[in-house]
């Protein structure tokens, strides 16, 4: 048990790094003045490139962690307790995703704004968890190689055919469902191709689990991840160009002209290699707690930055208005506030949950008592009103 836990430290550290990168990325991207968004500026280009690594890493790590928990228990299929927990978790992420896009003022006016139906990270990760569970249930009674093979094939298929399916408008679907497949209406992420990264994380988790007793697990994993990652970053575009010329298939040419998925996949593998290489220095309790509190951090950052429920967030008042000299320290302060608030919440979660439950029970008792009193008054006044009508029409004596 100790060995298993140790081997997850670098994953928690990766998740902590990814969520902090996401915080500063969202803050700077949302508030930096457009005048400073110069692609020819090396500093901005470097920031933009590394910001693009965040989401692929986050999706991959999420798939890795969930699959690791799913397959390490002895039970299989529907008897696996992680299946029920995973379904609950996936639905919870979908619910929170929609909840964060709810505007209370709009609801009070009887309106549901179009932004409520947009799809974001939480929606896609929730669906990705459900997707991994679906593949697991379909393959758990097959030979052991089938589950990881289907996962990696899903990644390859989603990435290779992305130029084909991204051109669809999905107008035949209701907009709320179409938003899971197209960005045309404003969705930030779509389940395709992003499920591919979560599926890849599941594939890596299976390999990690099966070879956990291998003496040279980490040296081998670091070497393979670095080699494959750098190969994808520097040579995958040329590979698809060569395929296009050799086969005259337009799909390969389309991948070459917009080869972000495989390049980002290479980035993810290099990040894995770096965190595995320095895993011994990533066991600080605060780092691990941040990695285990990503949902709380995400929710808090969404409320502060985008103004969930009220629309009164930083984005509304400072949208694309900050200079770099203000945005950079602002991003650092934003990271500290969100992280500190989330860690405090996690530390006091049981107490907060207990208070909420107590308050809910008190409110329910009060509502029930008011309802009972109201029902009694309704009966009394209903009887009096009926008697008054009878007297009025002389069907009853005084």
Domain count, the chain: 2
Domain-located, residue 373: yes
| Cα gap 181→179, rounded to integer Å | 5
Q: Read off the tokens for 350.
A: 């049981």
Quick: pLDDT tens for 171-207: 889 999 999 999 988 898 999 999 999 999 999 999 9
Q: Do 395 and 305 share a structural domain? A: no
Mean pLDDT for the chain overall? 89
Domain-located, residue 342: no
Pick the more confident residue, 317 or 8: 317
| Cα gap 64→165, rounded to integer Å | 26
Q: Do 381 and 302 share a structural domain? A: no
- Going by pLDDT thresholds of 50, 70 and 90, the confidence category of residue 32 is very high
Q: Do 385 and 318 share a structural domain? A: no
**Does residue 3 register a pLDDT over 50?**
no
- Going by pLDDT thresholds of 50, 70 and 90, the confidence category of residue 395 is low
Domain-located, residue 339: no
Q: Do 320 and 379 share a structural domain? A: no
Q: Do 390 and 271 share a structural domain? A: no
Q: Do 357 and 317 share a structural domain? A: no
Q: Do 221 and 188 share a structural domain? A: yes
Domain that holds residue 60: 2-333
Domain-located, residue 340: no
Q: Do 38 and 120 share a structural domain? A: yes
Q: Do 274 and 365 share a structural domain? A: no
- Going by pLDDT thresholds of 50, 70 and 90, the confidence category of residue 5 is very low
CA quadruple 2, 4, 5, 10: dihedral sign: positive
**Local structure of 322: helix, strand or coil:** strand
Q: Do 315 and 386 share a structural domain? A: no
Q: Do 251 and 376 share a structural domain? A: no
Region 102-124: mean pLDDT is: 86
**Torsion of Cα atoms, 363 then 365 then 371 then 374, to 10°:** -100
Predicted TM-score (pTM) of this structure: 0.87
- Going by pLDDT thresholds of 50, 70 and 90, the confidence category of residue 114 is confident
């Amino acid at each position: 048990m100790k060995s298993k836990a140790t081997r997850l430290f670098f994953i928690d550290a990766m998740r902590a790094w990814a969520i902090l990168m996401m915080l500063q990325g969202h803050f700077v991207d949302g508030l930096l003045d457009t005048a400073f968004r110069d692609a020819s500026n090396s500093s901005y280009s470097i920031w933009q490139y590394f910001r693009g690594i965040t989401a692929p890493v986050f999706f991959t790590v999420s798939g890795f962690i969930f699959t690791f928990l799913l397959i390490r228990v002895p039970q299989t299929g529907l008897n696996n307790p992680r299946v029920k927990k995973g379904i609950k978790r996936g639905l919870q992420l979908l619910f929170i995703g929609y909840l964060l896009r709810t505007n209370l003022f709009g609801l009070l006016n009887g309106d549901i704004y179009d932004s409520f139906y947009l799809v974001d990270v939480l929606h896609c990760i929730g669906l990705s968890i459900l997707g991994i569970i679906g593949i697991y249930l379909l393959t758990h009674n097959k030979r052991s190689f089938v589950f990881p093979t289907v996962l990696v094939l899903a990644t390859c298929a989603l990435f290779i055919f992305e130029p084909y399916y991204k051109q669809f408008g999905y107008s035949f679907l209701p907009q709320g469902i179409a938003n899971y497949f197209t960005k045309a209406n404003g969705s930030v992420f779509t389940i395709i191709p992003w499920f591919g990264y979560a599926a890849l994380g599941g594939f890596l988790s299976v390999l990690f689990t099966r070879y956990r007793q291998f003496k040279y697990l980490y040296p081998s994993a670091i070497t393979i991840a670095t080699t494959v990652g750098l190969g994808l970053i520097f040579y995958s575009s040329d590979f698809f160009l060569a395929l296009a010329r050799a086969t005259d298939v337009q799909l390969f040419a389309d991948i070459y002209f917009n080869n972000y998925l495989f390049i980002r996949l290479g980035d993810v593998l290099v990040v894995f290699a770096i965190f595995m290489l320095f895993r011994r220095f990533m066991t600080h309790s605060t780092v691990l707690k941040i990695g285990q509190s990503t949902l709380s951090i995400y929710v808090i950052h969404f409320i502060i930055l985008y103004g969930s429920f009220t629309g009164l967030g930083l984005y509304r008042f400072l949208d694309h208005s900050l200079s770099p000299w203000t945005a950079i320290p602002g991003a650092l302060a934003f990271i500290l506030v969100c992280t500190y608030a989330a860690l405090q919440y996690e530390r006091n979660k049981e107490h907060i949950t207990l208070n909420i439950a107590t308050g809910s029970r008190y409110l329910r008792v009060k509502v029930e008592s008011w309802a009972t009193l109201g029902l009694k008054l309704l009966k009394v006044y209903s009887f009096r009103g009926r008697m008054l009508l009878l007297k009025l029409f002389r069907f009853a004596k005084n």
